[in-house]
Amino acid sequence: MLPTPDGGYIAGGSTWSGASGDKSQPSQGNRDYWVIKLNAQGQPQWDRTYGGDQFDDLHDLQVTRDGGYLLAGTSTSGTSGDKTHPSQGGADYWIVKLNAAGEKQWDRTIGGPGGDDLNCLRQLPDGSYLLAGTSASAVGGNKTQPNRGDADYWVVKLDEQGQQQWDRTYGSVKGDLLVSAGLTLTRDGGCLIGGFSAQGASADKRQPGWGRDDYWVLKLDANGNKQWDGTFGGEQDDRLVGVHQTPDGGYLLSGFSASGREGTKTQPRYDPITPGASIGYDYWVVKLNAAGGVEWDRTIGTPQSDELRAAELTADGGIILGGSTFAGIAGDKTTRNNGLADYWIVKLSALGVKEWDLDVGSHERDGLASIQPTPEGGYIVGGDSWGAPSGDRTQPGRGLTDFWLVKVGAPLVQITGDTRLCNGGQLPLTAVSVPTGATYQWDTGATSATITVTQAGTYHVTATFANGARSTTSHQVSVLTPAMRIQGDSLLCPGSALRLTAVGTAATVYRWSTGETTPSILVNAPGRYRVTAQYGAGCSLTQEVVVRNPTLQLQGSPWLCGNDTQLEAVAPGAITYRWSTGATTATLAATQAGTYSVVATFANGCTRTAAVQVRAPVVTIQGDSVLCGGQPLLLTAQSNLAATYRWNTGATGATIRVQQPGTYTLTAFYATGCQRSTTWRVVTAPVLPAFRAGTDTTVCEGTTLQLRAPLLQAPVSYRWSDGSTEPTLRVQQAGTYSVVVQTPCEQRTFMQHVQYKSCLLLPNIVTANGDGLNDTFAPKGLLGTGWELTVYNRWGRQVYTSKAYTNEWGSEAAGGVYYYLLSQPASGVHYRGFVEVVR
């Protein structure tokens, strides 16, 4: 029986029945697989019958990852009914794949030439299947390895479509029987298989036997190769029922035992051995570590025979055991018997300590076969029952024996209260039972539901219910000295978030000033954040952290006094600095005026930038520098920084009145401790003399004339009528020229008229005798350049011409009279005449 994804259950077994009662389909042969789908309330939704013409016994079923089901058991049928493959021998593994509605999709027959009994299967994470059972076959059919003895463990690996991938045979030289829950997958990809064996060390079995049948388990890797095996038992029969891997990586072996305290069994049997009487059994649970070593074992039983048939791990790390017993209240059984054999359910803690037990049965014989925890904390148990409505059974039988499913709640007691006690505090502990109405017995002697404790320790309470069932639980109380701090950055980059976490002694409740109640919060705004950690029993601690945006300030004087001024970047939490100068320290010596900037980088990656203008103190004197006619003038001190002043005259005000020429010195004293000085020269303005620029003048055309103003010592300025400002002026045209001469105290204007006349002289004789006088034809007073000359003899023949005449003709000419044409094409001016060359 297993839970299904829809919250219901799938149950299965074997049946001889045809269509009748709750069975809706006819029989296929002597005995068939029968599966029933139940809803969460235990109501049948559908049932299916699958079989051949012989005996088909269902031993295990699994919910597959596609939402369907896989049925596993043993068949002696050939190809018939729902069986599509022939028998391989006496009995074979037979698996049937169903969809979610219970409809058959395919079936496979796997076996050797002898008898093969399939007891359990598991689906692997990759969708493939692992089958495990017992085989008496030699090599043949699907079996590839020889048998070790009468019967061996036989493991077969199939793919998701049921095709065989490999098989492995393990056994001793005698009979070894793998049980119906003797397969569990392990977290390393392998598996643990188990059953019982009566043989000592031989073949694959490395340890000797302890008596008759012993628990025998083998650890296999993902390829089915043996890694280790272990034998556990006493002198009598020890029959393994199931194997599980525990959360710590170890293993739990569960079954029933007739042995006392011997071999690997550390606790005595409950049913004493009586000569001639049948031997009774007890539940026996063995806890192994990951390597197969025994950590502990527990014997649970009564003076009657108690046979465990199912076990499962529970959500709290414990173990739920289920089987059958004939006993009433005796030994570990605290609840009455209803008839012959009843279902007996026992809850153990993770350490094997019994917590409670429960009897479920009718007045007839009831045999438990399966137990499963339910989501709400109860259990559903299933098996077969011969009874009519009686005891815990509410429905009539359908035939000789029926499937009987029962949903039960655990008779449970729990202790509520904190597990941590502050020094000097008091801690209330309260026993709460389900169902209510139980009586309580504390190990302190108290019988009330609530006790108050003041010391650390483990406190136990036993609840006794109306039906006689008992449940015991414990509660560990420790003394707490709480410590807590807030972990996380206190600098928040704008636009981002940071995480604050309360670390230290784990609290039961956290309350932040933001209203959140988790140990860790995200904040995206600066401010004060406070958390109170509540540890129970009045214990609490409060811590606070200030989250701020990163800041950067520049400290130091912005005035350059002496050789340098010290600047300091103040940025709490910064890890690096970089100045505009390239410096990477927090401080910087600024040695010259200018703008200095720095970038501070913080651990969370954000940056801040600041800048400062460093200036040197400057003092100047403003005012006139020329005394006019003995009149006083004002000199005023100016500075870019507040200061006090001292003049060389002894004055200390910002302004002084002066009446004498000379050099005046000003010293400014600053609050920064430095001082600056400057000077100002005061002179007497020169007196402008009486002066004339000159008489009116007439000069030859082409002549450059230089006009002169009176030369005076500064301060004096000149401005001629053409705008020039020099003391002299060169003129080449006729006109009236004036100059304004100005001092700070007065100005005068002088004027002169200039006229030009023609002074042209064209010689009429050349005396080429080499005395340097009149050796060539050299006109005087020609204006400009670009003059051309053409000379003709007296017969009119051209004897000379020049496009750029420069007074060179005549020195080589023969004596006589010549005629010339002198012209300037650019102006259109020309002259004609004659000249005589005399030698």
Question: Looking at residue 141, what DSSP letter applies?
Answer: T
CB-based contact 754:695 (threshold 8 Å): no
Supply the Cα-derived Rg of the chain in whole angstroms: 62
Residue numbers of the chain with a pLDDT score lower than 50: none
What would the DSSP string read from start to end of 430-449? Answer: EEEEESS--EEEETTS--SS
Residue with tokens 């450059």: 704
Contacts of residue 43, Cβ cutoff 8 Å, sequence gap at least 6: none
Q: Tell me, what's the pLDDT at 587?
A: 95
CB-based contact 740:747 (threshold 8 Å): yes
Contacts of residue 826, Cβ cutoff 8 Å, sequence gap at least 6: 784, 786
Identity of residue 367: G
Q: Tell me, what's the pLDDT at 535?
A: 76
Query: Which long-range contacts (C-beta less than 8 Å, at least 24 apart) are formed by 821-828?
Result: 821/789, 821/790, 822/762, 822/779, 822/787, 822/788, 822/789, 823/787, 823/788, 824/782, 824/784, 824/786, 824/787, 824/788, 825/786, 825/788, 826/784, 826/786, 827/784
Q: Tell me, what's the pLDDT at 694?
A: 66
CB-based contact 195:177 (threshold 8 Å): yes
Q: Tell me, what's the pLDDT at 692?
A: 65
Strand partners, 140: 143
Q: How far apart are CA 836 and CA 527, in angstroms?
A: 117
Q: How far apart are CA 688 and CA 486, in angstroms?
A: 90
Q: Tell me, what's the pLDDT at 693?
A: 57
CB neighbourhood size of 507 (10 A):
22
Contacts of residue 436, Cβ cutoff 8 Å, sequence gap at least 6: none
Alpha-carbon distance values, 471 to 466, 667, 744, 839 (Å): 12, 102, 121, 166
The per-residue pLDDT for range 375-407, each reduced to its tens digit, is 877 888 988 888 788 877 877 877 677 778 888
Residue with tokens 């369907």: 68
Q: How far apart are CA 132 and CA 157, in angstroms?
A: 9
Q: How far apart are CA 486 and CA 472, in angstroms?
A: 40
Q: Tell me, what's the pLDDT at 62?
A: 94
Alpha-carbon distance values, 106 to 94, 102, 134 (Å): 11, 12, 23
CB neighbourhood size of 684 (10 A):
16
Q: How far apart are CA 468 and CA 463, in angstroms?
A: 10
CB-based contact 55:30 (threshold 8 Å): yes
Q: How far apart are CA 299 and CA 268, in angstroms?
A: 7
Contacts of residue 566, Cβ cutoff 8 Å, sequence gap at least 6: 556, 557, 587, 588, 589, 590
Closest CA to 29 of 98, 85, 71, 79: 79
Q: How far apart are CA 297 and CA 309, in angstroms?
A: 17
Dihedral angle at the C-alpha atoms of 732, 738, 743, 747, nearest 10 degrees? 170
Tokens of 305: 């025979």
pTM, full prediction: 0.53
Tokens of 833: 């005449």
Q: How far apart are CA 243 and CA 184, in angstroms?
A: 6
Q: How far apart are CA 614 and CA 596, in angstroms?
A: 7
> What's the CA angle centered on 819, arms 813 and 822, to 5 degrees?
100
Dihedral angle at the C-alpha atoms of 711, 717, 718, 723, nearest 10 degrees? 160
Tokens of 26: 């006819």
